[in-house]
Structures are given as structure tokens and as C-alpha cells.
Amino acid sequence: MAGALLLEAGVMFAAIAAVSFLAARLDLSPIPFYILVGMAINEFVLGRYGLPYVTETAFVEIGAELGIVFLLFFLGLEFNLERLLADRRRIGASGLIDLGVNFTVGFALGYLLFGGAVAAVVFAGIVYISSSAVITKTMLDVGWIANPESGPLLGTLVFEDLVIAIYLAVVGAAVLGGGSIGAAAQSVGVALGFLLALALFVYVGTRALERLLSTTSAEYFVLRAVGTTVLIAGAALAIGVSEAVAAFFVGMAFSSTSFVHDLEESLAPLRDTFAAVFFFWIGLVTDPFSFLGVLDLLAIAVVVTLPAKVISGFYGGRVYGLGDRRSLRVGLAMVTRGEFSLIIAATALAGAGAALPAETAQTLYAFTVGYVLVMSILGTVLIQTSGVFERYLPAGG
């Protein structure tokens, strides 16, 4: 058993390494390559033709979770508490523009396509939330993380992650699970309580973290940082709070210490390795044949929601006082959808037959798989080719 699992892990890492080499030779982002190679060797493609395939083992699943955790941890490292508090009004304004435009567009489109308020709420959540993991990794790849556009991008992502933590609690407990309003309120209360505890940890924990990381051993340094981050992220997930949000807060806590540069240098290889596993996992669980039946929904959703994200992102950038060129970059970067959309669709599928008809839930899930795949590829390509679109802006913009 262990031998088979190790062999599958070896095939996975070999496939990831091979396509990363190809992406480097083509000077393209490796993210779409990771997704496509995962899809190419999964049970839905190779298994369909009776060939050996790679399955979603516990190792791959945990590796993908670690990828999200480390990506959001690094996002937190770039966004300390002082910056968060100083930017709270701009974060709120850009986040509300993003929420108001994209959730409203998503709800209206979902209601037209599925004819019900519950399905529309689910659809709106799926198309509203951008992928913090994919966008953060792409920003690191193209060097935008230190640019002015990173402010509205990171601020809006933080706003989205906080909104979606509450959204998932409400939708999961009350609407799709058939639970009561009291159960939903309890879930929201637990989530908010945990987030407040994390915020307090960020505020008062700097001295303790300084002592924790103060060691001359590189091994102990990495183990202490990873142990703290994964423990808190795992605790968050265990009580129903987003592990991504928790990892972001932990990153913010570490950002106030004098070890930020050492953390970035020591943990970057771990981040990139598990981030690649995360993108590979997206492809691994994707059945490309499942969304053949929802191509019409997919086409309509892409045509409507892609411009909506670009427009809301553009005006989010203007809130920060950015010019047209950098505001356009914000809009293009926000196009990518990913992990949270899949979680929302999985929640809908788990609640099928309660407040949501089973057929509708299955259609929503198939749609989401295709939507995430298309938007994650389009999003990374748009970021890499932003210069093409910037040429069409008025001179001096």
C-alpha cells in the first residue's frame, strides 16, 4: 500500500517538474500547466481508457491544503496589521465595490439561469470570490507583489476572504443543510470569535513570536514557523473557519517580527512546492467530460462575469488613487477564480435535495469545475499579458 502511494506521489511530482520545465522554456506561468497535467493523468481521462492513473489520495489532498496555507501565509507577511488598519477605509471601499458589482451580477445571472433564489445565492458566491491562492502565486511570479497595484489587490482579497468565511457559514448551516437560523448564527459567531482571537494574536503576539523564532538552527527555525502556521490553520479548518484566512492572519503576526526576510527565504521553496501540488490537485479532481453538458452556461458566465470583475477591480484601484494602467492591472488580476468556488459548489452538492434540488446542485458543481478551470487559466494569462491591454488606454493613463 505504502509503495503504491509513494509511486503515485512520485508520478505526481515528476509530472509537475516536467511541465514546470516546459513552462520555463516557453516563458509562461506554470499554473495552467500544473492544472492541465493533473487533469491529463486523472481517473476521468486516463481511467476512462483503462490506463493507470493518479488518484486523489490523502497525501495529495493535504499537500493541496498546505499549498493554500503557505500562499496565504506569504500574503499576510506582505500585509502587516499597521498597513491593514491604515488602509481599512480603502480596503472597505474597494471590497464593497467588488462585492456589490460581482455578487449582484452573479445573483441576477444565477436567478435567470436557474430560476430560484437559493441557486442564485450559490451561483453568486461561486462567481464573486476570486482565488487568493492563484492570484498571490501569479503576483509573485510576475513581480507585482511590491508594486502599487498590490495594495488594492491584497486588500480586496482579504475583504473577500472575510466575506466568504461568513457566507459559507450561513449558506452551509441554514440554506443548503436545512439547518436553523440559530445554527447559522452559531457558526457565524464561532467564525467571528476565532477571527477576533487571531486579530488579538496579531496585535499582542509579536514579542512571543520573536522569542519563538530566535534560534541559530535553520532546522528549528523552519519547524517552529511551519508548526505555528499549520497548527493554527488546521484548528481554524476544524471548527469551520477558512484555513486561508487563518494562515493570512498568522502571516500578518509574523510580519511584525524582525524575521520577515528569513521567513521568506526559508519557506519560499515549501510554498512553491505545495502551491504546485494545489494547482495539480485542481486538475486531478476535474472531470473534463462533466462540463461538456454545461458549456452554454459556462460561455454565458465567462462573458458576463469576466468584464464585471475587470470593471470592479479597475474602480477598486482608483479608490487607492492609482492611474488607469495600474487600475486595469488590478481588474485583470482579480479575474481568477479557484479554491473557494469549488468549496461552495461542493457545499451545494452536499446539501442537494434539501433546500436545493439535486439536479440543480449537480449542474452547479459541473459548471463550477469548468468555470474554475477556464477562469484560472484566463486569469493567469491576462496578468502575464496585461501590457497588451494597457496599450489601448488613453495616453498618460
**189 within a domain of the structure (yes/no):** yes
pLDDT, residue 30, reads: 82
Cβ–Cβ under 8 Å, residues 357 and 86: no
Which is more confidently placed, 143 or 280? 280
pLDDT, residue 174, reads: 55
Here the CATH number for the domain that contains residue 4 is 1.20.1530.20
**325 within a domain of the structure (yes/no):** yes
**Residue-averaged pLDDT of the chain:** 86
pLDDT digits (tens, 9 = 90+) for 150-208: 889 988 988 898 788 778 767 766 555 555 666 667 767 777 788 788 888 888 888 88
**241 within a domain of the structure (yes/no):** yes
Tally of structural domains, the chain = 1
At residue 356, the 3 state secondary structure works out as strand
Cβ–Cβ under 8 Å, residues 313 and 332: yes
pLDDT, residue 345, reads: 82
**397 within a domain of the structure (yes/no):** no
Average the pLDDT over 244-252 and give the result: 85
**15 within a domain of the structure (yes/no):** yes
- Rounded CA-CA distance 18/133 in Å is 22
Bridge partner residues of 356 (DSSP): 352
Which residue range is the domain that position 283 belongs to?
1-391
Model confidence band, residue 217 (pLDDT cutoffs 50, 70, 90): very high
Retrieve residue 250's grid coordinates: 498568522
**36 within a domain of the structure (yes/no):** yes
**179 within a domain of the structure (yes/no):** yes
- Rounded CA-CA distance 174/24 in Å is 47
**168 within a domain of the structure (yes/no):** yes
Q: Return the DSSP state at 79.
A: S
The whole-angstrom distance between residue 375's C-alpha and the CA centroid of its chain comes to 12
Question: Does residue 397 register a pLDDT over 60?
Answer: no
What is the per-residue DSSP string for 190-218?
A: HHHHHHHHHHHHHHH-HHHHHHHH--S-H
